[in-house]
Amino acid sequence: MSSKFDLIVIGAGIAGLTAARCAAERGKSVCLLEAELMGGLVVNVGKLEGYPTVEDVSGIELAMTLAEQCMTLGVQITEEPVESLSVEGDDKIVKTAASEFRAPRVIVASGAKLKQLGVPGETELYGRGVSQCAFCDGAMFAGQEVVVVGGGDAALQEALHLAEHCSKITLVVRGNRLRARQSYITRAADDPKFAFRWNTVVEAVEGGDGVEGVMLRDTQNDTTESFACTGVFVFVGVAPNTEYLPESVECDEAGGAVVSASLETSETGIYAVGAARSGYLGQVANAVGEGTAAAIAALY
C-alpha cells in the first residue's frame, strides 16, 4: 500500500467519509484511517432527523453508502488506530502501530466517544442492563421500566425509540429543563410512558447479574433514593477523540480542536471537522457540509 498521499483523513464518520469522497472525486489520492466501525456514532441512529433525504434513512445506511462511494473512487481505507500526528517540514505524518502515512494536508475527523457517568456499578453492569444504544438494545427491554440519563437531543431521540418497546421511561435530568429540539420534547411530553426527574443525578447503578435500579440524588435538597429499573441508558454528552494531536494544535477545555472559518486548526495544513472540532453543532447535515468544506479548503 502507498504511504504518501495528497490528503489523509483521520476518522470515517460522516464528516470524514464525506471529506474523503470529495477529495477523491477531484482526482486526489486519499488515505482514510478508521480503527472502528464506519460511520462513527451515527450508525446507532435508526432514523436520521434533520438530514434532507427523500425517504427516511438510518445512520448505518448513510455511512455504508458513503463508504462504498469512497472505495469505488479509490480511497485507501486503513483499519488501524492512529497513535500520533506530527509535522515534518511540509509533511504531516500519521503513525499507527504498524504503519506510517504522509501528506501535506490532514483532516481530523475522528469524532467523539460517548461520555459515561463514572459512578459505581456502571462499568460492571455495562452490557447487562447499562447501554448507550437504544436502537441496538431497546427490544431486549420490551415491557420493562428503564431510565435514560440526559436531557439533550441524543437522550430524547433514544428515549423515544425505547418508548416503542418499554412500559415506562424515566428521564433523569441534571437541570430543570430539556435541551433537546422542540419536536422531541413535545413527543415525550405527550407520551404517558414518560416520567421526568428534574435536578437529579445518578450516584450509582445497582444490581447483581443485571441492573436492578439506580441510586438517585436530588441536587436541590441533597436527598437520595433507590429507584427500581432494569435498564439504564446513558447519554450525557461526548468527548472529542483528539488525544493524538500535536501540541501545536490548539484545543478547547473539552479537547475539541479550535478552527478558523476555513476549518483549519492553529497548525497550518491540519483541519478539523465534526465532533473533533470545537463548537460543532452535532447535526448530520453539519458533518456533511464540514467534510466537503474542509476537503476543498485543504486541496485548493
- Mean pLDDT confidence for 159-180: 96
Instruction: Please tell me if the domain spanning 7-113+238-299 has the same topology as the one spanning 130-234.
Output: yes
The residue among 78, 79, 110, 105 whose CA lies nearest residue 23 is 105
- The band of 222, judged by pLDDT with boundaries at 50, 70 and 90, is very high
pLDDT at 87 (0 to 100): 96
Q: Decide: 110 and 10 in contact? Cβ < 8 Å.
A: yes
7-113+238-299: CATH homologous superfamily? FAD/NAD(P)-binding domain (3.50.50.60)
- The 10s digit of each residue's pLDDT in 128-154 is 999 999 988 999 999 999 999 999 999
- The 10s digit of each residue's pLDDT in 95-135 is 999 999 999 999 999 999 999 999 999 999 999 999 999 98
The residue among 260, 199, 254, 205 whose CA lies nearest residue 229 is 205
Q: How far is CA 271 from the centre of its chain?
A: 18
Phi, psi of 15 (to 5 degrees): -65, -45
pLDDT at 284 (0 to 100): 85
Mean pLDDT of the chain: 93
- The 10s digit of each residue's pLDDT in 257-276 is 999 999 999 999 999 999 99
The residue among 298, 291, 295 whose CA lies nearest residue 39 is 291
Helices (H), the chain: 14-25, 59-72, 134-137, 153-162, 182-189, 284-299
Q: Decide: 16 and 291 in contact? Cβ < 8 Å.
A: yes
pLDDT at 36 (0 to 100): 82
- The band of 52, judged by pLDDT with boundaries at 50, 70 and 90, is low
Three cell numbers at 285?
A: 447535515
The residue among 37, 65, 66, 60 whose CA lies nearest residue 48 is 60
Task: For residue 22, give the amino acid letter.
Answer: C
- Cα R_g (the chain), whole angstroms: 21
- Mean pLDDT confidence for 18-38: 94
Classify each residue of 102-121 as buried b or exposed e, where b means 16 or more C-beta atoms within 10 Å of its C-beta.
Answer: bbbbbbbbbbbeeeebebeb
- The pTM of this model reads 0.86
Q: Decide: 233 and 132 in contact? Cβ < 8 Å.
A: yes
Q: Tell me, what DSSP letter sits at residue 164?
A: T
The residue among 137, 136, 131 whose CA lies nearest residue 116 is 131
List the domain boundaries for the chain.
7-113+238-299, 130-234
Long-range contacts of 33-36 (CB under 8 A, 24+ apart): 33/8, 33/9, 33/78, 33/80, 33/82, 33/94, 33/96, 33/101, 34/77, 34/78, 34/79, 35/79, 35/80, 35/81, 35/82
| Domain over 130-234 is classified CATH 3.50.50.60 | yes
The residue among 107, 113, 110, 112 whose CA lies nearest residue 263 is 107
